[in-house]
Amino acid sequence: MKKTAIFTMGTRGDVQPYIFLAKELMRNGYEVTLGSHPCWKKLIEDAGIPFEPIGPDIDIEKEAAAIRGKVSNPVLSMLKTMNFVFRIIQKSTTEIYEACKGKDLIIVSHSQMGAVEAGVLGIPTVNVTLQTEMIGEKLRPQTLKDKVIGGIIAKQVAKPYNRIRKVYGQKPVKSVEEIMSDRLNLIPISRNVVQRNPYWEEKNVLTGYWYDEDAEYVPDEKLRDFIENGDKPVILALGAMSFEDKPEKEKLDMFVSAFQKTGCRAVIQGFQKTIRDHALPENMMACGSVPHSWLFRQGRFVIHHCGFGTSAATLCYGVPSIPVPHVLDQMGFAAQLNNINVATKPLKAKDLTEETIIAAISEMNAGYAEMKKNAEMISEKIKTEGGVAEAVRLINECTTG
């Protein structure tokens, strides 16, 4: 039985893929520990996975919301959030190092948590990458200019990890790729959504999305009755982007008014501070933490922020999208959905008004039949890929071969 640890930090979308992977590893005889913010203890343990608290006991989604609220530029917002998380990772290295001891394998998440510590301890690693743009094109012929610019960027990206390496007396690296696994990098995205880059090294593998069905979920009576007694609703699920540092009544009012004017029934997830004192019309209701594997399939379409998790869920469960990306990586996932015609043109958060929401809903209605057909077709193909099972097969292959 391989003793395995996985470490990840960030919002729920940064944790959920590793819950799916950990459960599948455990079903295949691995002994898995998943380390993250203390605030995710219940989420992880409710999934039946042993949990290791890493870092300070903070509400990470509230902290991320506060950072977003101070910066409107999507690039700066992402960088500030990443820097905040990196500082926690750096301060947590001793905890990560101790949690790595005695393990046979470390699954290094997209934030590279555990990579340095595993290297110091001589423990084999497997990487996971969620954004294909972060994978180096090692096989692409490069000009001198490419090498110079690439070297400067790589050095900047490696800085946080070199600070951790310094703690253990390790020499600095020139790029993050030097601390990544030379065996396997898992990319939990479908080949029906993203084509494999011909300039990637062989170790970079598109496995298909990781997800499960949450077959045992039973909605409360109020939500069940709302879903069953009327046309399929719009699902508004802005994920971590709807976690509020302070009430955002103006933003919620835009959506509510747009739904009223377009005749949409709606289920609204998030906006917990605002919705507490908000009287919703009878054709709309708020819901709390409901698995997307159940909720999304009840909807006509989903309006979401295009985080990795919600983007994957719309495809896995065959439902079209109106993307409302807030930060840079979400814009990339929004473009993926639009490129395969399962989503409208992205509606950037900075352009959000009642009028632009109504226009996006009109675009969705005009192209709905084609987008729904495409989403269902891709969903069926994703099921045949068996992404998380394929990931575990590849882990077995590279750690026993």
pLDDT digits (tens, 9 = 90+) for 246-256: 556 788 889 99
The answer to whether position 214 is within a domain reads no
CA atoms 103, 105, 110, 115: torsion sign: positive
DSSP state of 101: T
The answer to whether position 216 is within a domain reads no
CATH of the domain at 261: 3.40.50.2000
Same domain, 267 and 139: no
The pTM for the full model equals 0.88
Helix (H) or strand (E) holding 72: none
> Residue 60 has what pLDDT?
72
Same domain, 231 and 185: no
The answer to whether position 368 is within a domain reads yes
Specify the 3-state DSSP secondary structure of 205: strand
CB 135 within 8 A of CB 200: yes
> Residue 307 has what pLDDT?
87
> Residue 262 has what pLDDT?
95
The answer to whether position 215 is within a domain reads no
Same domain, 392 and 303: no
Assigned token pair, 117: 């510590």
Adjacency order of strands within the sheet including 105-108 = 51-53, 31-36, 3-7, 105-108, 125-128, 185-187, 204-206
Angle at 359 between CA 356 and CA 365, to 5 degrees: 145
Same domain, 204 and 277: no
Same domain, 169 and 243: no
CB 48 within 8 A of CB 67: no
Q: What is the DSSP string of 342-401?
A: SB-S---GGG--HHHHHHHHHHHHHHHHHHHHHHHHHHHHHHHH-HHHHHHHHHHHHHH-
Residue 397 CA to residue 391 CA, distance in Å, equals: 10
> Residue 365 has what pLDDT?
95
Same domain, 16 and 153: yes
Same domain, 149 and 230: no
Same domain, 79 and 98: yes
Assigned token pair, 343: 């989503």
Same domain, 249 and 311: yes
Count of domains for the chain: 2
Same domain, 152 and 232: no
Residues of the chain with pLDDT under 70: 1, 61-79, 146, 148-150, 214-215, 239-248, 272-273, 401
Which domain covers residue 132, as residue numbers?
Answer: 3-208+386-400
Same domain, 176 and 317: no
Same domain, 195 and 259: no
Count Cβ atoms within 10 A of the Cβ of residue 20 and give its class: 0-12 exposed, 13-18 middle, 19 or more buried: buried
Residue 55 CA to residue 81 CA, distance in Å, equals: 16
